[in-house]
Amino acid sequence: DAGVTQSPTHLIKTRGQQVTLRCSPISGHKSVSWYQQVLGQGPQFIFQYYEKEERGRGNFPDRFSARQFPNYSSELNVNALLLGDSALYLCASRSNTGETSYEQYFGPGTRLTVT
């Protein structure tokens, strides 16, 4: 089975622009979470979606938004980009059932560079 997939792999944007990142979870996983990993730091939680509803939000400004589609894929949108938004954006999916419900599986990430 395919793992978590993310697109694009790399992205370069200019300050003030908007960006959309995409994520497809593991087949059968209904929960998707987004994390931001700034260079040299651990990932920081941004959002979690389950069954197309937002179930959790981290300490990020309203410029960050997300949604989940009926097929459980997800998009992360960031408006009015700042230089500080440059980071690796990671998507993780989770089964929410059984003994593996605590395990989150990460995609390879999207490297966003804001110039």
Partner 1 sequence: AQSVTQLDSHVSVSEGTPVLLRCNYSSSYSPSLFWYVQHPNKGLQLLLKYTSAATLVKGINGFEAEFKKSETSFHLTKPSAHMSDAAEYFCVVTPMDSSYKLIFGSGTRLLVRP
CA-CA distance, 17 to 20, in Å (whole number)?
10
Which 7-66 residues touch partner 1, going by CB under 8 A? 31, 33, 35, 41-45, 48, 50, 55-56, 58
CA-CA distance, 89 to 23, in Å (whole number)?
10
Q: How far is the CB of 106 from partner 1 (least distance, A)?
A: 4
User: Is the Cβ of residue 16 or residue 28 nearer to partner 1 in the bound state?
Assistant: 28
The continuous run of DSSP H or E covering 65 comes out as strand 64-68
User: Is the Cβ of residue 53 or residue 62 nearer to partner 1 in the bound state?
Assistant: 53
Residue from 94, 95, 112, 114 touching partner 1 (CB under 8 A): that is 94
Cα 91 from chain centroid? 4
Compute φ and ψ for 102, nearest 5 degrees: -85, -15
User: Is the Cβ of residue 79 or residue 105 nearer to partner 1 in the bound state?
Assistant: 105
- Is residue 16 within 8 Å of residue 114, measured between CB atoms? no
In this structure, how many other beta carbons lie within 10 angstroms of the beta carbon of residue 75? 16
User: Is the Cβ of residue 49 or residue 85 nearer to partner 1 in the bound state?
Assistant: 49
Q: How far is the CB of 36 from partner 1 (least distance, A)?
A: 11
Residues forming contacts to partner 1 in the complex (CB under 8 A) are: 4, 31, 33, 35, 41-45, 48, 50, 55-56, 58, 90, 92, 94, 101-109
